[in-house]
């Protein structure tokens, strides 16, 4: 097995949690983010689509959902920045017998905004799990699993996955999830009941272009300061909502393509969003061989390319749905399918290469220690 290196973050440091097709990595820097120190690989050989950092109640806990092609998936946690990881004896995310389903992958781990011991987990096949004891035990959210439309959901290229979980910053009972390919569903009673919520979102690949559900939503983000403001990167389509996702309008103004996966929002500025447009669903690579992050500063009225420090020649890159993050320090971070990780400490005006040569990157999260 490969030699594993470790990081020791200090208070105030920035930590990137990077999941790849062959393991997880950590990258530590101080606030200046000029130099990065690598930790990992952890879970070498396993695909890590989901990672999270839980700093509630004074914790410094990493979560990861490694999936071994051979031995399945067990959620792991670390309280010492990856030096040791929990080894649950039994699989902690498990479909109950009545579901007649088997876990394929973990796509998202999200600590609750409102309850210090609650976490959510989105998985494939598309389902939501919830823990109310800080991740010790998990239960399937029955209301979504039992939704009468579920048998009609179809897998996208990555499988039938629940990849986005947005707990409303100001309404504990309101949760929105996104599923490829089913679209978005919202609950207003803490997960007991769910309804599709995709008004105005196009399904280019269906005869009915605006169905009640069935859209291939790639990523959704929500402002924590202004929760009615949301943005959506669709399988064709770039949208904004000003009513908590109840309706969506097209904001693909000046982008080379409205196809893409990744999307990140500034935690403190509801008007600032970053995306990485891809040429098409037939050619999922950056247009013209140029790796361009596009930023809007005005809620999508205009998008501008942020390219300084990014390759602008022969760069046929792809950034997947969860492989981009932004933080309150004006940081933007992303990883590519070709194993590069880039960071900007100034909203994308200038980029640096954190590392080049990782396995394909599928997840990037940023945490302030």
Partner 1 sequence: MAYTFFIPGPLREYAGNRGEVQLNGSARSVADALSLLWAQYPAVRDRVITEVGDVRPHVNIFVDGESIRDSAGLGTTVRDGAEIFILPAVSGG
- List interacting residues with partner 1 (CB under 8 A): 45, 68-72, 74, 87, 89-91, 94-97, 99-103
49 vs 53, beta carbon nearer partner 1: 49
Half-sphere exposure of 31 (CA within 13 A, CB side): 4
Q: How far is the CB of 120 from partner 1 (least distance, A)?
A: 20
Q: How far is the CB of 138 from partner 1 (least distance, A)?
A: 13
Coil, strand or helix at 97: helix
Q: How far is the CB of 359 from partner 1 (least distance, A)?
A: 10
43 vs 120, beta carbon nearer partner 1: 43
Look at residues 167, 123, 165, 128 and name the one whose alpha carbon lies nearest to residue 146: 128
CB atoms within 10 A of CB 125: 20
Q: How far is the CB of 230 from partner 1 (least distance, A)?
A: 34
Look at residues 290, 364, 278, 274 and name the one whose alpha carbon lies nearest to residue 48: 364
103 vs 128, beta carbon nearer partner 1: 103
100 vs 313, beta carbon nearer partner 1: 100
91 vs 369, beta carbon nearer partner 1: 91
DSSP 245: T
161 vs 252, beta carbon nearer partner 1: 161
DSSP 145: H
d(CA 128, CA 145): 8
Q: How far is the CB of 334 from partner 1 (least distance, A)?
A: 23
Half-sphere exposure of 224 (CA within 13 A, CB side): 11
12 vs 96, beta carbon nearer partner 1: 96
Extract the tokens encoding 118.
Answer: 């609650």
Look at residues 147, 111, 158, 102 and name the one whose alpha carbon lies nearest to residue 130: 111
Element (H, E) at 355: strand 352-356
Give the DSSP letter string of 281-315. SSS-S-GGG---EEEESSTTS--EEE-TTS--SS-
Extract the tokens encoding 350.
Answer: 């200038």
99 vs 285, beta carbon nearer partner 1: 99
22 vs 219, beta carbon nearer partner 1: 22
d(CA 39, CA 62): 13
Q: How far is the CB of 147 from partner 1 (least distance, A)?
A: 20
d(CA 233, CA 281): 13
Look at residues 175, 177, 204, 172 and name the one whose alpha carbon lies nearest to residue 187: 175
Give the DSSP letter string of 331-342. -EEEE-TTSEEE
């Amino acid at each position: 097995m490969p030699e594993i290196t470790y990081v020791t973050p200090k208070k105030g440091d920035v930590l990137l949690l990077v999941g790849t097709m062959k393991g997880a990595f950590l990258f530590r820097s101080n606030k200046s983010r000029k130099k990065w120190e690598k930790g990992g690989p952890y879970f070498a050989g396993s695909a890590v689509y989901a990672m999270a950092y839980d700093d509630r109640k004074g914790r410094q806990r990493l979560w990861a959902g490694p999936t071994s092609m051979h031995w399945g998936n067990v959620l792991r946690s670390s309280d010492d920045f990856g030096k040791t990881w929990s080894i649950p004896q039994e699989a902690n995310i498990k479909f109950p017998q009545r579901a007649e389903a088997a876990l394929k992958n973990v796509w998202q781990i999200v600590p609750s905004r409102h309850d210090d011991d609650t976490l959510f987990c989105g998985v494939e096949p598309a389902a939501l799990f919830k823990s109310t004891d800080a991740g010790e035990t998990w239960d399937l959210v029955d209301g979504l699993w039992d939704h009468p439309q579920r048998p009609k959901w179809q897998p996208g290229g990555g499988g039938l996955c629940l990849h986005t979980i947005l707990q409303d910053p100001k309404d504990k009972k309101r949760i929105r999830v996104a599923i490829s390919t089913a679209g978005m569903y919202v609950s207003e009673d803490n997960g007991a009941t769910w309804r599709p919520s995709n008004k105005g979102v196009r399904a280019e690949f269906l005869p009915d272009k605006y169905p009640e559900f069935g859209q291939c939503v790639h990523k959704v983000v929500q402002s924590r300061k202004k929760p009615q403001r949301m943005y959506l990167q669709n399988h064709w389509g770039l949208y904004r909502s000003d009513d908590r996702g109840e309706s969506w309008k097209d904001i693909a103004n000046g982008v080379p393509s409205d196809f893409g996966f990744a999307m990140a929002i500034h935690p403190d500025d509801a008007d600032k969003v970053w995306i990485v447009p891809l040429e098409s669903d037939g050619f999922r690579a950056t247009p013209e061989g140029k790796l361009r992050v596009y930023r809007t500063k005005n809620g999508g009225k205009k998008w501008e390319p942020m390219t300084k420090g990014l390759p602008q020649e022969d760069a046929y890159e792809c950034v997947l749905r969860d492989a981009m993050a932004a933080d309150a320090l004006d940081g933007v971070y992303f990883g590519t399918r070709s194993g590069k990780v880039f960071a900007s400490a100034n909203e994308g005006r200038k980029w640096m290469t954190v590392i080049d040569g990782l396995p394909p990157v599928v997840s990037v999260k940023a945490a302030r220690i």
